Structure 1
Amino acid sequence: MTTSQPSIDSLRHLIQTHPLIDNHAHNLLAQEHACNYSKYPFEQITSEAQGPALDNAVKTLPLLRAANQLAELYSCPADWNAIKSAREQWVQRDYGSLIRRCLEGTHSLLLDDLLTDYDIQPYDWHDQFTVSGTKRIVRIETLASKILTAMRDSGDLVNGDASLADYKVQFGLFYESFKKMVTSSVTDPNVVGYKSVICYRTGLNIVEPEEDALFKSFSRTVQQTETPYRVEDKPFNDWLVLRTLDILTLAKSASSISKPLQLHTGLGDSDISLLLSNPAHLQPVISKYPEVDFVLLHSSYPYTREAGYLACVYPNAYLDLGEVFPMVSRDAEESIIRESLEIVPTNRLLWSTDGHFFPETYWLSNKQFRQTLETVLVDYVLQRDYTVSQAMEAAADILFHNSNRLYGLNQTPQYQPSTICALPNSPSSLDTFIRNNPGVKFVWMQWVDYTATIRIRMFPIREFARIVRKERRIGISLSVFWMVQDDSVGASAPPGATTGQFYMEPDLSSLSRNVGVPSQSASVMTFWRSEEGKQLEGCPRTTLQNLVTKFKTEHNIDLTFGFEIEVIFLKPTTDANGKKDYTPAVANHSWSRMTSETQTLLPLLEEIVEALASININLEQFHAESSPSQFEFVLPPASPLAAVDTLLKARHVVTSIANQHGLRATLHPRPIPKAAGSASHAHVSISPSDQEESFLAGVMKHYPAVVAFTLAQDISYDRVKSGIWAGSEWVTWGTQNRETPIRKIGPGHWEIKSLDGLANMYLAMSAFLAAGYLGVSQNMPLTLKDCTVDASTLTPSERTALGITTALPKSITESLAALEKDTEIQGLLGRDFARNYTVVKTAEREKLNAMSEEERRIWLVEQY
């Protein structure tokens, strides 16, 4: 199978779920002002119009579209008055939950927090709604206004009949204060950039003012009778921008501190000069200050192409794609993204909402941008302008990585699928699922414990909707950290193991109908969250996703998984004494053949394939394997978390439909003594593949500890043998060699052989990735050579010549001991988790060893 290129579905999923950094936003209103529509008209969420002109906004396409989308958010009719009424009720009931909903998927906010309105919340108040703390963007005109006000209050600023010489003195005092405040803020870790609204005030045709003109401009500014001062006199405004650039240039040369300057361009209020808002006017300034990065805000609409040209030819120019979402129509949004991609490198494009006052401005912006970006990038992939991988890289850069680099945030995106806009976890996404699956009446919320047992809580669809809306939480005892299959807790569990709980958070990206069972239900996988709603160490799905994130953010490596399901179909039997047993469903059977006896299973096999296709799991192939009644189903490749989710869904379908045919489909590694066993081989691809040797070196070094997760029970080690195509007995790798635990298939593409169906696959793949991550992070050299034979057939000296020195563990006890010694793997997976896992595996082993060999075989067949 080939896994080098992810699917378009992977691209869609990434666009809709990737965390984002909002590089230009504003403060939200305090709750008491959130519904003060006379002062803050709600219609401004899609319009820059003010006063009487705003009355016409309700007849614009952007607002009508927003109304239809907000109706989904509020679960109300798409009537503007009904929307406002529903909104007011939510604000009064729980303003915080509305904000959380609207900021779903936002990793960090960069706030221009110097709005002069006192009805807003301070910038750090917003921290509670995002993964990472809020950062500040300093607006230089407001900073100047505050300095002037402070000078007036202290008596250093004289209005009235002062001479030009007096204004020169006052200007000198102002300059010292301005320079001091900007310079000090450059070293403030909470300040990540600066902004000018000179576009609104005097236009973007910035020039160095002559001295007399500057002093006269300053005098006109301070002669205002009302405060706060409005800085809107051209020479003074131009001077403020240029001196800020001088300070930022000096900081870059003196201390290598680089903080960008954002400039409002294009779309704006009625007080702009539309002609002077064209970013083309900035070309001389951008060229003059090559050490300062310029961010051209608001897509520069309607001058997107002009801004795109600047971002193309100047390495210090970036184009922000914000504000136009949701201010323009769907077609215009699509055109803006296409124009932005005409010549602009995708590492020069940034995302922002320009969200302000109302949390819905964030929600609409993010929802519409993700929709439009998906439309455009998928189209380019279908037209073969992009590969899927190239499009995925571009989307992730625009949403997160470009801002992360430009503003020096050094953040690692945390995937929280329960807090993603639109897809997968908004109530509107659930509504869509219900509409498309009207027969679903119940939802099974699932998690996988450390014994690979799938645990389930079932809910009527109405109650599940309440969970998605975060109107209730489902707590699960923390005892599951130490629980084995019969619900007993391991003897080595710490005191108080039954105290406390975690909360299941559904991941709607995994929601699908249950097929093959007599139930009108769907199932969904979950994350484990703490009392505070944060990630919980030891959650298998979170562990895997965090490692995927580290590969992307730290090494720009994308990962793809593909799985093979090997099952053996058994017939349950009972002898005259009532003893239960399981025997092969067919006997005349061999690898890749369809004997006359094997053909009797065709109705079962084809029903499985069709059932999987009905929930969008489209097999690549299926065929007979070597053991009697053994078959393999090859699943399509996908992103790691989605691939494991798909594996578990597919296994459930296989076992459920087999049950309907009176058979048991088992993942037991060797349910038929002396016959070939079953694995659960996994394919892993990294892209690009230029660090494949370091990745593989890490896997080889840490493989004994990895095996504690991939071969999770003693019976699993019954296949650590030479000559049975199961990976043999030594830690090594080989190109297309099925007698090595790691078979190399192509550049950056491997198959894991020592892996079976008793493993918690989220944890098994996490351990494998952790080993590879350590290799890449440490630039580890690959000392093991390509092994083309079964290493067990080599002499010790021959193995040494290939760098093969370590035997595979032969029991779960040995691999757990290797895990205990491997502090690096523990550090990535979680030290407490590693201890808990060892407690569970030890208790599980003791339980199984207390059984006879035949009892153990029957028990495992029925469990797995």
Structure 2
Amino acid sequence: MVDQPEFGDERQNAHTLRIVDSAERDQRFERATELFDGLHARNVSVVALTWVDNSGITRTKSVPLRRLAHAAAHGVGASPVFDVFLFDDWIIQGRFAGGPVGDLRLHPDLDRLTVLAGQPGWAWAPADRHFQSGVPYPMDQRLQARKAVRTLAEQGLTARAGFEIEWCVGKTGTEDWVPATSGSAYGHARQVELSDYCVDLLNALDQQDVEVLQFHPEYAPGQFEISTTPEDPVAAADTAVLVKETVRAVTIRHGLRPSFSPKVVNGGVGNGGHLHLSLWRDGTNLFDGFQDEARRFSAGVLTHLRALCAIGCPSLASYLRLVPNTWAAPFVAWGEENRETALRLVRDNLEIKCFDLTANPYLVVAGVIAAGLDGIATGAGLPEGLNVDPALLGDVQRLPTSLKEAVDEFEEDAVLTEAFGRELAGTIADVRRGEMERYKDASPQGIANITRWRH
């Protein structure tokens, strides 16, 4: 069994990340042991350790509570083959990952250990993947986000981020889409119809210490949205995972079914996964007043946005959503409070509106930070903001209109591929091309059907 396959220079990508050594293993064991009594008193029996793959699916290995200390110290085995899973569990052979050989260790982040209010008896912790030796795995997406945050810190910067989570609630008993509500878009009637469900969901998030800024019905039939408070970017990605899985758990317990797909029904309004991000230096929010550094950061994001679509709009279904006149923001442009430009400047943060929830949130924050830092480093200039619908102008560049177009842009983007590293960048592209090949003959509605319930 190969413990540490060769990654060449890619090992340098993890040089700022802590190697799990024997002293740290002991510390983790002791800390998890100290947590046991409190978890047991709250009737926790099982702890789910999750990571998110390159197709945006949350994967997991779980341990009984009595094995948590061992898992914290030594990790839980997981094959690296998960890096080449497609969203439908089809496994491809990538250039840098795939096949039955190798083993990694999942190390739960005990700082984020959460008792799950929507799944009685369960707790949850996001996991980082390492080799058995303790060396960080260069293709781990959460570690990639950590690295991006450390790169920010090296330049005296920090960031605060948060995701908007949109989903549609459907009825069970059919693979087709039947919304669970008949209330109007943004209408209170929709909340009245699912009043108990909404309360249970918000109570569950509150019990899990997720601070919800707002909750409301959205435009599409049966659609809702939650926005959470800004956090460190890695924590924000963790929260996005936790919110999605809490929505899933509470929805299922109410006899309903959630869909986070970018396009539940072809031709309808889809679900987004907008990222909000602010940049800070010396305790000052650089987006408050849109200071020069924030402008250059935004210019970097805008410059690399077409390539970033391979990260933030990573599925075939994403391009059913990215069409004009649906407020999906399919244009390479920015504007102050403009909901049809891909970048929307809000009062004190930048909203990236084109992304959706088939994306891995850790890759999203890592990619956006890399693009923004490139803008700062190169002194990138921001074009004039738009205060009209870009579709009315006729000459505003579109975001990619297909997954192939996005992947081509990504592979040609030296800044992003260098930031992710050759192996991770190549594997992301391999997975995207695997999805394209597998569903090359599918109709738009067929793509919506196969994606509807996967994320």
Q: Tell me, in whole angstroms, the C-alpha distance in 1 between the residues paired with 2:232 and 2:311.
A: 20
**Distance in structure 1 (CA, Å) of the matches to 2:77 and 2:326:** 45
Amino acid at match of 2:322: V
User: CA distance change for structure 1 residues 419 and 550 in 2, over 3 Å: closer, same or farther?
Assistant: farther
Identity of aligned residues (%): 25
Assess if the C-alpha contact under 8 Å between 1:589 and 1:598 holds in 2.
no
Residue in 1 that maps onto 2:56: 452
Unaligned runs of 5+ in 2: 1-11
Partner of 2:164: 564
CA RMSD of aligned residues (A): 2.6
1:829 maps to amino acid: F
User: Aligned match of 1:858 in 442, 449, 453?
Assistant: 449
Determine the C-alpha separation between the residues in 1 that align with 2:97 and 2:328.
40
TM-score, structure 1 normalization: 0.48
Tell me how far apart the structure 2 counterparts of residues 542 and 420 of structure 1 sit (CA, whole Å).
20
Q: Partner residue of 2:354?
A: 754
Q: Aligned equivalents of 1:789 and 1:432: distance in 2?
A: 57
Name the structure 2 match of 1:113: none
Question: 2:429 is aligned with what amino acid?
Answer: T
Give, in angstroms, the shift of residue 858 of structure 1: 3.3
Cα-to-partner distance string for 1:529-573 (whole Å, 9 max, x where unaligned): 1243122222110111111111111x2111001121111101124
Counterpart Cα distance in 2 of 1:421 and 1:636: 35
Given candidates 594, 597, 618, the residue that maps to 2:211 is 618
Are residues 1:830 and 2:421 paired?
yes
Of residues 294, 297, 301 in structure 2, which corresponds to 1:692? 294
Give the partner amino acid of 1:430. Answer: A
Is the CA contact 2:148–2:369 (under 8 Å) kept in the aligned structure 1?
Answer: yes
Q: Could you say if the C-alpha distance between residues 774 and 515 of structure 1 is closer, same or farther in structure 2, counting changes exceeding 3 Å?
A: same
Q: Which residue is 2:47 aligned to?
A: 443
C-alpha distance in structure 1 between counterparts of 2:222 and 2:344, whole Å: 26
Cα 1:759–1:751 shift into 2, 3 Å = same
Structure 1 or 2, whichever has the larger Rg, is 1
Provide closer, same or farther for how the CA distance between residues 760 and 821 of structure 1 changes in structure 2, counting only shifts above 3 A.
same
CA–CA distance in structure 2, aligned partners of residues 681 and 489 of structure 1:
28
How far does the alpha carbon of each residue in 1:777-819 deviate from its partner, in whole angstroms, 9 at most, with x for none?
22x23141111112221143xx5xxxxxx43111110010001
Pairing partner for 2:188 from 594, 602, 606: 594
Q: Which amino acid aligns with 1:603?
A: D
Output the CA distance in 1 between the equivalents of 2:368 and 2:239: 19
- Structure 2 residue matching 1:631: 3-state secondary structure: strand
- What is residue 583 of structure 1 aligned with on the other side? 178
Give distance in 2, aligned partners of 1:844 and 1:500: 24
Could you tell me which residue of structure 1 aligns to residue 252 of structure 2? 659
**Residue identity in the other structure for 1:836:** T
Deviations 1:708-756 (A, max 9, x none): 111011211122222222213x211111111100101135x20010111
Map 1:200-239 → 2, pairs under 5 A: none
Question: Structure 2 counterpart of 1:630, which letter?
Answer: Q
> Could you tell me which amino acid in structure 2 is paired with residue 483 of structure 1?
F
Does residue 782 of structure 1 match 2:381?
yes
- Rounded to whole Å, the distance in 2 between the matches of 1:810 and 1:742 is 17
AA in 2 matched with 1:484: L
Distance 2:220 2:181 in 1: 10
For 1:538, give the aligned amino acid. M
Name the CA shift for 1:482/1:768 in 2 (closer, same or farther; >3 Å): same
User: In the alignment, which of 507, 518, 530 is matched to residue 109 of structure 2?
Assistant: 507
Aligned residue pair count: 432
Secondary structure in 2 matching 1:479? helix
Task: Give the 3 Å change call, closer, same or farther, for CA 529–567 of structure 1 in structure 2.
Answer: same
Partner of 2:67: 463
Give the residue type in structure 1 aligned to 2:454. Answer: Q
Residue number in structure 1 paired with 2:9: none
Answer whether contact 1:622 1:634 (CA < 8 A) is retained: yes
Q: Cα–Cα, structure 1 residues 421 and 643, in superposed 2: closer, same or farther, change >3 Å?
A: farther
* Residue 391 of structure 2 corresponds to residue 792 of structure 1: yes
Contact 1:475 1:504 (C-alpha < 8 Å) held by counterparts? yes
Matched, 1:607 2:197: no
Whether 1:722 and 2:315 are equivalent positions in the alignment is no
Indicate the SS of the match to 2:215.
strand
Q: Is contact 1:712–1:759 with CA below 8 Å preserved after alignment? A: yes
Q: Which amino acid aligns with 2:52?
A: V
Q: What whole-Å deviation, never above 9, does each CA across 1:5-44 have from its counterpart, x for those lacking one?
A: xxxxxxxxxxxxxxxxxxxxxxxxxxxxxxxxxxxxxxxx
Which residue number in structure 2 is paired with residue 812 of structure 1? 403
Q: By how many angstroms is 1:481 displaced?
A: 2.2
Structure 1 residue aligned with 2:6: none
TM-score, with length taken from structure 2: 0.88
The answer for the alignment partner of 1:847 in structure 2 is 438
Q: Which has the higher contact order (CA 8 A, sep 6+)?
A: 2
Which amino acid in structure 1 is aligned with residue 135 of structure 2? Answer: K
Question: Alpha-carbon deviation of 1:430?
Answer: 2.4
Is residue 2:32 matched to residue 1:430? yes
Q: How far apart, CA to CA, are the structure 2 residues paired with 1:693 and 1:508?
A: 36
> 1:109 aligns to what?
none
- The residue type equivalent to 1:621 in the other structure is Q
Q: Does 2:136 match 1:535?
A: yes
Does 2:79 correspond to 1:477? Answer: yes
Change (3 A) 1:507 1:565: same
Matched, 1:489 2:129: no
Query: What residue number does 2:7 align with?
Result: none
Structure 1 residue 667: deviation in Å? 0.5
C-alpha deviation, 1:502, in angstroms: 2.1
Contact 1:502 1:529 in 2 (8 A): yes
What are the Cα deviations for residues 345-375 of structure 1, in whole angstroms up to 9, with x where unaligned?
xxxxxxxxxxxxxxxxxxxxxxxxxxxxxxx
